[in-house]
Chains A and B, each alone.
Chain A
Amino acid sequence: MPASPAGFRPLRLFSFSLMLLIGASGRAATPIDYAKEIRPLFQERCYSCHGALAQKAKLRVDSGAFLMKGGVLVPGKPDESEILARVSAEDEDTRMPPEGHPLKPEQIAKLKRWIEEGAKVPADDAPEPDPRDHWSFRPVQRPPVPTVANPAIAIRNPIDAFVAAKWQEKDLKPVGPAERRVLLRRVYLDLVGLPPTTAQMEAFLQDNRPDAYEQVVEQLLASPQYGERWGRHFLDIWRYSDWWGLGAELRNSQKHLWHWRDWAVESFNANLGYDEMMRQMIAADELYPTEPEKLRATGYLARPYFLFNRTTWLDEVVEHTTKGFLGMTFNCSKCHDHKYDPVSQVNYYQFRAIFEPYQVRTDLIPGEADIKKAGLPRAFDCNLDAKTPFHIRGDERNADTNRVITPGLPAFLAPRGLSIEPVKLPSAAFEPLRRPEIAATLLRQTELKWARALLEHASREERARGRSKIIEWALVGPSGNALAAARFELKQIEAAIADPGKAAVSLRGAIKSAESNVETAESRSRQFPATSTGRRTALARWLSDRENPLTARVAVNHLWLRHFGNPLVSTVFEFGRKGTLPTHPELLNWLAAEFMDHQWSFKHLHRLMVTSSVYRLSSSNLNAVESTQRDPENRYLWRMNPQRLQAQAIRDSLLHLAGELDLTRGGPPIAMAQQENSRRRAMYFFHSHNEHNKLLDVFDNANVLDCYRRTESIVPQQALALWNSKLALEMAGKINDQLHTRHKDADDARFVTAAFELVLGTPPTSNELATCEEALIDLRAALPKLNEPQKTQRARLQVILALINHNDFITVR
């Protein structure tokens, strides 16, 4: 990044020429400050090759001592200093740095003057730290929980202790707890993505047990809607997308990918450990080769499928597997060694090599032989000897054929490397026909065809003679094309079942997706291999190893972000040296350790987070002048962060409050044309790169290519959508009708109060109430043609709409 803030360049040039003028007239200028003016320049342009990460030409320039030692700098003598000659060289082959712009003239002039002035460095000058010592690359160790004297909140669990300790350190005072109503709405939306109904709210308000809140948390975590809410969060990170292409041609992702989505929902509901989730997503085909329920998880690898270009496909796998699970940007090292982290370009291709053998196929689902109608898309190792290329400067056209790339990981992260053991697969895994239910499905389909052909062929007379006669007649062997074809097919199926190893492609019970648009017939018809390389199992084991320094930290941070509205590490997919430091490093470590020590249980973490006192704080900064001044961004959580609801939660909440939401779970996605009138949860809508719901889009629906964190935009189209869409108007109408039924003959005050409580979760303030009452007078006047009670009911519809359009309806306070 250029270090100059916008708009300052002309000024700088001016002061530079001014400086020259002063210099010429012999007056002393302020000496160049190494720490402020030289070191940042070196850091930006030189350290990646001449620093702790790499020492090209055995040179380091990340400290004064190293510079002298390297012999490229002679204090006081710019003309003898090679460093100056190299940065100002005209010839591109000798000029440094070799990539990017040459240094600017003013930067070179500064460097020169600094050398002239004796190349002074401060006494505490030290080389940059070893990248391997970066905080997130060190093992996770559980820190002691701090004891906080006179804490400002009840210390309910260690989260409170860590956060309260920071408040004391930063001299911050937390706000008070949120009202019970606000808290209940918060935790409902947070855990299940739906607001509480009036009845649920009333029950909670009347529950005087000391653990009433904890009881609610347990209920919510046990409800099936929890898995939908949190499954969807992680499907953002894992880039869930239904298939897309051009017209009917599939180019990206896979049909029937929803099986993986359902696996995610079910896994969250079952509290499957995150370690096991990763193992299943990356390597279920090796670890559980004959368990279709678990094979669904490898939809994670079916998702990046791309018809046209294998490098693009695997680039996505590398980029998002490292960003999503490790918080590492391996993609930066596709063309050159990573500029910030010890990840070399070779490491990039080694990581790719882990995935090189895999392809995607769709297995039949028992009971449906037509792969277009149903099937299970999944990964499998197909080309066991596939070579991974090394693309010089990342250019696919320019592969280094002398280099042999073997699967592996950067040593600083995985000192013991990957232990890869090939996996011998049971025959039912590579010959699906050996699964009786698959054989039966194919057989039955062909038998049906045969029977249908038979019936069609039989003459009216033969039919009249009855079923047994037809069979008798059939056995005699009448001729007929359809029948002959069916009989032939049946024979083939029987032969295939008897010897699955020789089955034709269409009769194997699984179809491989084209490896590319130019795949040969020979490659298409090849049998599935009887072994798998075990590379992905090795990767999955390493990712889910207690020793892995990154996996748990990254996951905990994602959870924290979604509960508290702000992550502990704000660069959620970048935990490397380019990322930001955690606001609460000890808390992050503690949570990561706690997570792993509790079987990587998400529910355990949710429970800790939402029952902490910190989570229960108000999000208002009213009367918190000092804290606001000291920490305006609320980095230290002296109050709760308000959060904009995600697109799906906004739509589902509307339906839910109107009593319209259909909580049916799972199954094929709801087609675009059916979405407007569908009452199912929005996470079941068809959602791909090409086709996405218009209403959800307005509220920043997940981008299927990259969504580590939803955007929270505020644009006028959102207002239009919530005012004008059929959905909003229809649901507002239903909420209005429902309130009128529930509160018969209610006056405006009672109606408005009930409406506030339902839509926003809180009763109106006296000002809000008065404002609504006044508006209702005007609204009635605007409806001269209507009579009571229709007039009142119609006027009140606008109150409901105004509440749906209230900032605090789409916000979690």
Chain B
Amino acid sequence: MLRRDFLGFSGVALAAMLHKDGYTVGAAEGRAPNGKPHFTPQAKSVIWLFMNGGVSHMETFDPKPMLTKYAGKSINETPFQDVQNPEKLKLARVTVVNDANGQQRNKLYPLQVGFKKYGQSGIEVSDWLPHTGACIDDLAVIRSTWTTDDNHGAQTQFHTGRHMLDGEYPTLGAWVHYGLGSLNENLPQFISMGNREYWNLKDGHYLGPAHDAVPVRVDPANPLDFGKPELPVSASEQKLGFELSGKLNKLRATEYPNDPALDARIKSYELAFRMQKSLPEVLDFTKETEETKKLYGMDRNETKSFGMQLLAARRLVERGVRFIQIQHGAGGAGVWDAHGGLKANHAANCLAVDKPIGGLLTDLKRSGLLKDTIVVFATEFGRTPGTQGSDGRDHHIYGFSVWMAGGGIKGGLVHGATDEIGFHAVEDRHYVTDVHATILNQLGLDSRKLEIPGRKRLDIDHGTAIKAILG
């Protein structure tokens, strides 16, 4: 049964409940959602894998032999010179004049890796990603995503639809959390893991902090902030204390009856107490078999850290957590940001994520969870077909790849395309919010019905579901 989770009694939700917030007074649209999908959902949960820094689409999911053929040539010496037609470059918004990065790179850089066909679909995947390749028949590869900002503020943009400079907007996970009820009253429903220090740590923004992801570390001993007493207190003492606090709060209701804030607080304490116990249990992998741990690459140093996060993600999904947001790659603006030494950079980063991702997909599939769970592989932008310095690629917004799997998404298919050198998305172009719309669609949510009065969203903020990849 769906339950409206207690995390939701806050911010806009509470205000709407009390009819306190100005914009909600008298506006039926302003009421907090009831936690039920707007139409029959195809999926229950989302595992959102985000590669910080910008993954080269050409060295992962969108091979371009022409780059090798014309390697070293300036774009205007090739048959593809029209890609730099100023009209076509217009969608770029320059926020930082004379930025060292985010420039046009004219000299074509050859592919740094080979490709092989995988699965029955025969889709080509980079030799750096054999385990992902092995799951290709479950993946819908979208080769025609685009964005507008040539700097890493595009990370925020991929999560909210808006660049940092446009202000702060709720992330996709926050919308899902706002719109859907809880499937497990012992766990927070929106969890983030990994590194997101470059962009803002918040998700809820105008939906309120109740819709921020709860940051979790894959460490059963210390999984979340304030997750255990910071000075010695025994579990039995604390339990009695917690119980006492619950009783005292309830007794106040005789003097202050019908106080929704008091009721919500009592419930939030109960959840806190359960969460404190249940989260370490989820993150304790002792009951997982060695085979499973290996499947996620937990037996190798290169893959261990991401593998643990993905195994945690599976365990969270299993227990009904709605949205798990995992950012891969710390340092600077993200570890994938290969302005130089692309080959070594991407080989190492692919190695770190490939085995765990293959393991996650395999594990979800064999346990039957994949049909209810959407897995997304995304990044803020691709990288330039041209070379930066001697061996790097710069940020590239005009066309790049993401993929989605599970939760009613068709596998073994390629949707959209970039031109012959991977410059512009030319077929079935999708702004980043189309990915959001697709996910919301599978979860049974209509983003227009979630809108907050006074916070008008534009069509481009909502995006359009990519129907072609839906089963």
Residues of A within 8 A of B (CB): 1-2, 5-7, 100-101, 308-309, 312, 396-397, 516-518, 566-567, 569-572, 574, 578-580, 619-622, 628, 632-633, 642, 644, 689, 694-695, 697-698, 700, 703, 705-706, 711-721, 723-726, 729-730, 733, 765, 767-768, 771-772, 775, 778-779, 782-783, 794-795, 797-799, 801-803, 805-808, 811, 813
Contact = CB atoms under 8 A, between A and B. Distances in A.
A714 B20 contact: no
A713 B230 contact: no
B449 to A, nearest CB: 4
B255 interface: yes
A1 B10 contact: no
A566 B15 CA distance: 11
Nearest to B258: A621
A6 B251 CA distance: 37
Interface string B414-455: 000000000000000000000000000000001011010110
Contacts of A619: 256
Interface centre among B11, B226, B261, by most chain A C-beta atoms within 10 angstroms, is B226
Contacts of A811: 261
Nearest to B36: A7
Contacts of B167: 705-706
A574 to B, nearest CB: 7
Contacts of A574: 22, 454
27 contacts: A1-B453, A5-B28, A7-B38, A517-B98, A518-B97, A566-B20, A567-B22, A632-B19, A633-B19, A689-B200, A705-B167, A715-B7, A715-B268, A716-B188, A717-B272, A723-B242, A724-B230, A725-B226, A726-B230, A775-B241, A775-B247, A778-B240, A779-B241, A798-B238, A803-B248, A805-B269, A807-B265
Contacts of B168: 703, 705-706
Contact of A779 (B9, B226, B240): B240
Residue of B188, B240, B247, B459 with highest tally of chain A CB at under 10 A: B240
Contacts of A570: 20-23, 25
A312 B423 CA distance: 29
B218 interface: no
A675 B258 CA distance: 38
Contact of A719 (B214, B233, B272): B272
Interface in B241-269: 241-245, 247-249, 251-252, 254-259, 261-262, 264-266, 268-269
A389 to B, nearest CB: 15
B162 to A, nearest CB: 13
B255 A730 contact: no
B173 to A, nearest CB: 15
B77 interface: no
Interface in B4-44: 6-7, 9-11, 14, 18-23, 25-29, 33, 38
A805 B214 CA distance: 21
Contact of B248 (A771, A797, A813): A771
B320 interface: no
B367 interface: no
A579 B268 contact: no
Given A580-B23, A632-B19, A713-B208, 12 more contacts: A309-B95, A516-B97, A518-B98, A713-B210, A714-B265, A715-B7, A715-B10, A717-B225, A721-B226, A724-B228, A802-B245, A806-B252
A22 B249 CA distance: 58
Nearest to A307: B96
A718 B9 CA distance: 13
Contacts of B451: 1-2
A5 B29 contact: yes
A620 B255 contact: yes
Choose among A580, A695, A726 the residue with the greatest number of B CB atoms under 10 Å from its CB: A580
B459 A798 contact: no
A771 B243 CA distance: 10
Contact of A716 (B28, B248, B262, B275): B275
Contacts of B238: 723, 798
A726 B226 CA distance: 9
Contact-residue bracket for chain B: 35 or more
A715 B268 CA distance: 6
Contact of A807 (B210, B227, B229, B261): B261
Contacts of A717: 214, 224-226, 272
Contacts of A808: 252
B377 interface: no
A567 B254 CA distance: 28
B271 interface: yes
Contacts of B454: 571, 574, 578
A194 to B, nearest CB: 22
The residue in B93, B94, B209 that gathers the most chain A C-beta atoms within 10 A of its C-beta is: B209
A577 to B, nearest CB: 13
Given A2-B448, A715-B210, A517 B96 contact: yes
B237 interface: yes
Contacts of A571: 22-23, 454
Contacts of A771: 244, 247-248, 251
Interface string B288-309: 0000000000000000000000
B345 interface: no
A706 B455 CA distance: 14
Nearest to A768: B251
B97 A712 contact: no
Contacts of A725: 226, 230
B104 interface: no
B1 interface: no
A720 B227 contact: yes
A799 B244 contact: yes
Interface string B380-393: 00000000000000
Contacts of A772: 244, 248
A801 B245 contact: yes
B85 interface: no
Contact of B240 (A101, A698, A729, A775): A775
A716 B22 contact: no
A759 to B, nearest CB: 11
Contacts of B25: 570, 580
